[in-house]
Every structure is written in C-alpha cells, then in structure tokens.
Amino acid sequence: MILLQQLMDNSTRRVRSQTANMLTIVNLGLGSMAIIFVLQGQFGLTVALICIAAVFDRMDGKIARKMNIESELGKQLDSLCDLISFGLAPALLMYQSTLQDFGIAGSMAAVIFIACGAIRLARFNVSEQEGYFVGLPITGAGCILTVSHLLNTAVEPHIFMFIILILSILMISSFTIRKS
C-alpha cells in the first residue's frame, strides 16, 4: 500500500512538473496546424489558430512561474515552439496570401522574418534580463503580422512587405520592453 502511494505521489509530481511544457506543446500543435491550414489556403482558420497559440504561450510561462516549475528544458522548448507558431506560421501565412506576388523578394522577406525570430529567441535564451525584454518578442511580432493579414483586402500588398521587414528589425533591435 505504501509503495502504491509513493508511486502515485511520484507520478503526480512528474505530471505537475510538466504542466507548463504540456501547454507549450499545445502551442506547438496549434502552430503546426496553422501551417497545414495555410498550405490548404484556409487563411481565416490559420489566423485563429495562431491567436489561440498565443494564449497558450502566455499561459505556459505564467503557470511555470506560479507553480515554480521553470526549467532550462522548458525555456528551450518554449523557444523552439515559438519559432514555429510565431515565426514560421505567420511568415508562411503572409507569404501565401500576399508576398508570393513579389517573387524572390517576397520569399526573402518571409525568410528574413523567420531568421530574425530565431535570432531573437536565441538571444533571449542566452541572456539574463530580469523584468524586461530586449527587442520585440517573437510572439508579439508574429501576432501583429498574423492580425495584419485581416487587412489584406483593404491595404496595398507592398505595405505587407514593409510590415514584415519592420517587425523583423524590431525583433533584433536593442530597445527594451518591460515584462508584464
């Protein structure tokens, strides 16, 4: 009986310690589904999935801090998942819906956004800023790019080239934003 109780306690502790990582994996799943739907031309569903992924991204960090279960693995996993959900998925959405009309320049703009997001995440992972972010977080950049897609019929296509490049620069810039 005592052995069974110890096994249950260990299992509960393991599940509890992985709660934030499970939310991070949901973020990844939503971002991955967004990519699949953008390839199918379902842009509205893609926008919704990326926005929902942002909610899970916000929750995983809050839960990790609140439950005191932050870990180096969780930090790295979060960055990898964020690159998919807020780097690749939004860039692919913008490319498929608008930027492909610009040929190689549109392709390069999408790749630059993804690369700047990767640089931003790597810089975050190796630095120790307490209380502030350096540069625009990829979640913010990806969400702004995603939501800007909703203006697709109202805004000239070349404006989206400007938006994606400005967001790329903001991610790797050195200004600071206070964490909330």
pLDDT confidence band for 111 (50 / 70 / 90): very high
Query: Into how many domains does the chain fold?
Result: 1
| Tokens representing residue 100 in the block | 């492909």
Determine the structural domain holding residue 115 and report its residue range. 2-178
pLDDT at 50 over 70: yes
- What is the tens place of the pLDDT at every residue in 28-48? 999 999 999 999 999 999 999
CA-derived radius of gyration, the chain:
18
pLDDT the model gives residue 2: 66
pTM, to two decimals? 0.89
Q: What is the pLDDT of residue 84?
A: 98
Q: What is the DSSP letter of 171?
A: H
**pLDDT for 8 beyond 80:** no
* CATH number of residue 100's parent domain: 1.20.120.1760
Q: Is residue 125 a contact partner of residue 74, using CB atoms and an 8 Å limit?
A: no
> What is residue 120's predicted lDDT score, i.e. its pLDDT?
95
The pLDDT value recorded for residue 178 is: 84
Closest CA to 168 of 127, 108, 124: 108
